[in-house]
Amino acid sequence: MSEGKDDTLTKIVVISSDSVLPIDAAMRIYQSDTNIEIKETCFGTMVTGPRDAVNRVVREVVDLDRNHIFVKERGFLPGDERRCRSSRGGGPRPGFHYLRHEVQMLPTIGKALDAYDRKAPLKETGPKKKLDVDKLEDMIKSQL
Amino acid sequence: MVKVIIYPTNSLILSDMVERFGHKPIAMMEKIKEKISTVSVDSPPLNITPEEPKMGLKYAAVEVPAGVRGRMAIVGPMIEEAQAGIIVNESPMAFGCMGCARTNELTKYLIRQREIPILEVDYPREGNDEEAKEFVYKIAEFLKSLPKDEEEDKA
């Protein structure tokens, strides 16, 4: 419906790298002379602007450490009053919990991507087992 | 390039991986952006209009709660658009805009009903390197097996 009228794009760049800090990514974006806005956050940056410019800048940032910088699109603009904490009376914004959970997993995912690039062989892992009832009972009793 | 629907539909990891391996992720964020940037929807904090539950009737019966139908009004067209799918089961944090278990079940069911290539994997447990490796390898191989240059012609 609104296609073509407003082709701005917001991307969340999450940095989970040992060699690139969020400020490095932010500096790289500031250096680009395109008309984009960025917001630095605790997990990385949010980049808003024309689609082509955002895609180009984000690609440059990802190239800093390809397997440890992750990107996804965001529906709302940074500071949108339907999501921004400042207008909602504080607390985490909707969607933050999921993002935070995934951010905690990124170091292992990054390592796995490194291993995939190195073509490291995959070890067989057994099926996940649920906790045995007897074991759970023992644990409960041991707390008493 | 293939349009790949991801489940959880707002996943950073899946969305990134699909793009990383040269395909287009069909994710919730993009659809939400379309929704909120239309002129008719400007009533913060709501971004669902009374029209959505009606549109959701295509995917769920009228007895089904309006919340499920409202969500399906967004997720349903995503499933129809998809040419491939990645479903990650056992996601421990399926809440936020993913928070409705019945919608999640219906979403997974409808993806499985489509005759498209589908990969189902389990979410790796936190800090478990081997599971994370298996997760990444399976997704990477699946995405590499999809056609790159031409759009799949599903009729």
Contact B98 A98 (CB under 8 A): yes
Contact B95 A97 (CB under 8 A): yes
- CATH number, residue B87: 3.40.50
The two beta strands, A69-74 and A8-15, are antiparallel
d(CA A34, CA A47): 11
Instruction: Supply the range of the domain harboring residue A108.
Output: 8-118
% of residues, chain A, pLDDT over 90 = 36
**Has residue B154 been placed in a domain?**
no
Number of compact structural domains in chain A: 1
Look at residues A16, A12, A11 and name the one whose alpha carbon lies nearest to residue A68: A16
Instruction: State the average pLDDT for chain A.
Output: 85
User: pLDDT, tens digit, for every residue of A31-44?
Assistant: 887 788 888 888 88
**Has residue A77 been placed in a domain?**
yes
ipTM of the complex: 0.85
**Has residue A64 been placed in a domain?**
yes
Cβ-based contacts of A111 with chain B (< 8 Å): 129, 132-133
pLDDT of residue B155: 44
Q: Which of B13, B34, B140 sits opposite A70 (nearest CB)?
A: B13
**Has residue A143 been placed in a domain?**
no
**Has residue B153 been placed in a domain?**
no
Number of compact structural domains in chain B: 1
And the tokens for B16?
Answer: 């990134």
Cis peptide upstream of residue B45 (ω within 30 degrees of 0): yes
pLDDT of residue B41: 62
Q: If interface means Cβ-Cβ distance under 8 Å, which residues of chain A face chain B?
A: 1-3, 6, 10, 12, 14, 70-76, 80-82, 88, 94-99, 101-106, 108-109, 111-113, 115-116, 120, 122-123, 125, 128
pLDDT of residue A144: 65
Cβ-based contacts of B12 with chain A (< 8 Å): 12, 14, 70, 72, 99, 102-103
User: pLDDT, tens digit, for every residue of A5-18?
Assistant: 568 899 999 999 88
**Has residue A32 been placed in a domain?**
yes
- CATH number, residue A24: 3.30.70
**Has residue B14 been placed in a domain?**
yes
Contact A108 B129 (CB under 8 A): yes
The two beta strands, B24-26 and A44-50, are unpaired
**Has residue A43 been placed in a domain?**
yes
**Has residue A87 been placed in a domain?**
yes
**Has residue B35 been placed in a domain?**
yes
pLDDT of residue B45: 55
User: Closest residue of B to A113, CA-based?
Assistant: B136
Q: For residue A111, is pLDDT > 90?
A: yes
The Cα of B134 is separated from the nearest Cα of chain A by a number of Å equal to 7
pLDDT of residue B111: 95
pLDDT tier at A2, thresholds 50, 70, 90 = very low
Give pLDDT tens digits along chain B (155 positions). 899 999 988 899 999 999 999 999 999 888 888 887 776 665 655 666 777 788 889 999 999 888 888 889 989 999 999 999 999 987 776 654 556 788 888 999 999 999 999 999 988 887 788 889 999 999 999 999 999 865 544 44
Contact B98, B105 (CB under 8 A): no
Contact B137 A71 (CB under 8 A): no
**Has residue A3 been placed in a domain?**
no
Instruction: Supply the range of the domain harboring residue B103.
Output: 3-145
Q: For residue A122, is pLDDT > 70?
A: yes
Q: Which of A2, A70, A122 sits opposite B134 (nearest CB)?
A: A122
Please name the residue that has the structure tokens 């082509």.
Answer: A52
**Has residue B152 been placed in a domain?**
no
**Has residue B74 been placed in a domain?**
yes
**Has residue A15 been placed in a domain?**
yes
Determine contact: B45 vs chain A, CB below 8 A. Answer: yes
Query: Greater confidence, B100 or A50?
Result: A50
